[in-house]
Amino acid sequence: MANLFIKQAKQYLGSRPNYPEELLQFIASKTPCHDLVWDVGTGSGQATVSLARIYKNVIATDTSAKQLELAPKLSNVQYKCTTPNMSMSELQQNVVAAESTVDLVTIAQAMHWFDLPSFYQQVKFVLKKPNGVIAAWCYKSPYVTKSVDSVFQRFYTVDSDPYWAPERKIVDDMYRTIEFPFEAVDGCDHNGPFEFKSERLIDLEGFFLYIKSWSAYQTAKENGVELLKDDVVEDFTNAWNEDGKYEKIITFPIYLRIGKVGNVN
């Protein structure tokens, strides 16, 4: 699985959403200090760039060296390539050496790929007690226009469906059912999902690039299946051109689970 994001790293960088300021500010308002973040499954730094503006230092890790190569280089960000099932000793050697030193752990559109029991053990180790925060979010299928969405819906639920890994289904459920053993942060009476949205202007080529960045697109290709067949491309093109607008706003609904570590023995 950790390999699913290697081959299409360029498509990924060119088409995936960045995250809105409201999301990052909401998260930052829940950590008392702004010293150190561990951004896990950083990809090509989609969340890291904004985090680096708010926190003094960011350690951004991913299992894909190819994704990390494309991430923006910033003076307060250290990118590190890790193994998919990193042990506690690898964590301490390669990522964060000392217990209770991290203010925030972020996981953007990636936590559904992790082995949660061992990952949560690491999160509980690194976070400052009791107010260190974990923030994990995912985004679902985007909205464009009624006509594009209707072609997309069929494409997503029928054509691409067999090629999504089972783990990815938790995203369709907006992370509601993902195990999340953390306390509500101050000012909240539950740990989510809280809803945000990311919007950007996109043309049809960019929209196809987004589809090509999917793990399911990659898996289908490896099985000899081109998901963007001529008739599918034609359906999308007709729907896209209906309103005569070359570029359109694409909206990704984002779902955030957020919690604090509390006092862990």
Ligand X SMILES: C[S@@+](CC[C@H](N)C(=O)[O-])C[C@H]1O[C@@H](n2cnc3c(N)ncnc32)[C@H](O)[C@@H]1O
φ, ψ of residue 54 in degrees (nearest 5)? -100, -35
Indicate whether 170 belongs to the interface with ligand X (CB under 6 A): no
User: Interface with ligand X by CB under 6 A: which range of 110-118, 128-136, 185-193, 198-206?
Assistant: 110-118
84 lies in the site for ligand X, by CB under 6 A: yes
- Per CB under 6 A, 160 contacts ligand X: no
62 scored as a contact of ligand X (CB under 6 A): yes
* Residue 42 is a binding residue for ligand X (CB under 6 A): yes
- Residues near ligand X (CB under 6 A), total: 21
Q: How far is the CB of 129 from ligand X (least distance, A)?
A: 24
| Phi (first) and psi of residue 197, to 5 degrees | -145, 150
Residue 48 and residue 71 in contact, taking contact as beta carbons nearer than 8 Å: yes
Instruction: Quickly list H helices, the chain.
Output: 9-15, 21-28, 48-54, 65-69, 88-90, 116-126, 146-154, 169-172, 204-212, 215-222, 230-241
67 binds ligand X (CB under 6 A): yes
Among 15, 16, 105, 134, binds ligand X (CB under 6 A): 16
Nearest partner of 263 among 104, 131, 116, 133, judged by Cα: 131
Contact residues toward ligand X (CB under 6 A) are: 2, 5, 16, 40-43, 46-47, 61-64, 67, 82, 84, 108-110, 113-114
